[in-house]
Amino acid sequence: MVNKQGLWFLTLTSLALVLSVYYITMPNELLLTNNGVGLENTVNEVKEEKVDIKESDIITSMRVELDEERNLLSKDLQNKLNDGKLTVDEKNEVYEDLRLISETSSKESMLEKKINDEYKLKSFVKIKDDTVSVVIKSDNHDKGLAVNIMKLVQEEFENKMYISISFKE
């Protein structure tokens, strides 16, 4: 009967053998990149190439700002949760706050995806209490589109929400 160590050794050795045979028999054209330019030339190209960094758009900056704010709040709540001085009821309250932050973030992501799928628009959604703020990246400031997005967002909530739509270019 073969033991586990022997089986692993045999498997890894055979894998190494197969890969080495494949590498040796592989045509040289596969090792070349950039339409026949060798690897040494691509390294030089990367060094010479200038990186063009564009200013981040407003949707991305809003999302990053909100994520940073929520991460900071979550860390504070986690620290409170790990504090031994809190009672069970206080820990339950902190846990519920953490759960609410997570639910809100996932609901916002789901709404952004739904707007993107339905209308092919980049969006930013922020939910706070009973208010939903939606920022749409679009040159077209269409009232009908805003109403349709409001209906789409409201469908996801059981309670009446105050929804604001703004368009940014």
| Structural contact between residues 36 and 27, judged by C-beta atoms closer than 8 angstroms | no
Give the per-residue pLDDT at 32: 59
User: According to the model, what pLDDT value does residue 42 have?
Assistant: 47
Does 135 have pLDDT greater than 70?
yes
Which CATH class, in words, describes the domain spanning 58-168? mainly alpha
Cβ-contact 163, 132 below 8 angstroms: yes
Please give the structure tokens belonging to residue 159. Answer: 């309670």
- In this prediction, residue 73 carries a pLDDT of 93
Torsional class of 36: left (φ above 0), alpha (ψ -120 to 50), beta (otherwise): left
Residue 101 pLDDT level (bands cut at 50, 70, 90):
very high
Q: Identify the residue with better confidence: 5 or 134.
A: 134
Beta bridge partners, 129, equal: none
Task: Give bridge partners of residue 131 from the DSSP assignment.
Answer: 128, 162
Query: What pTM, to 2 d.p., does this model score?
Result: 0.63
Res 39: pLDDT? 47
Quick: pLDDT tens for 44-100: 444 555 544 444 478 888 999 999 999 999 999 988 888 778 888 888 898 899 999
pLDDT for the residue numbered 158 = 92
> pLDDT digit string (tens) for 136-152?
988 888 899 999 999 99
Residues of the chain with pLDDT > 70, as a percent, come to 80
Tell me the C-alpha distance between 33 and 42, whole Å: 8
Could you tell me the residue ranges of all domains in the chain? Answer: 4-37, 58-168
Residue 37 makes CB contacts below 8 A (sequence gap 6+) with 45
pLDDT band at 4 (very low <50, low <70, confident <90, very high): confident
Q: What's the rounded Cα separation, in Å, for the pair 5 and 25?
A: 30
Q: How far is CA 7 from CA 2, 12, 47, in A?
A: 7, 9, 46
Q: Is 111 exposed, middle or buried (0-12, 13-18, 19+ CB in 10 A)?
A: buried
What per-residue confidence (pLDDT) applies to 53?
A: 43
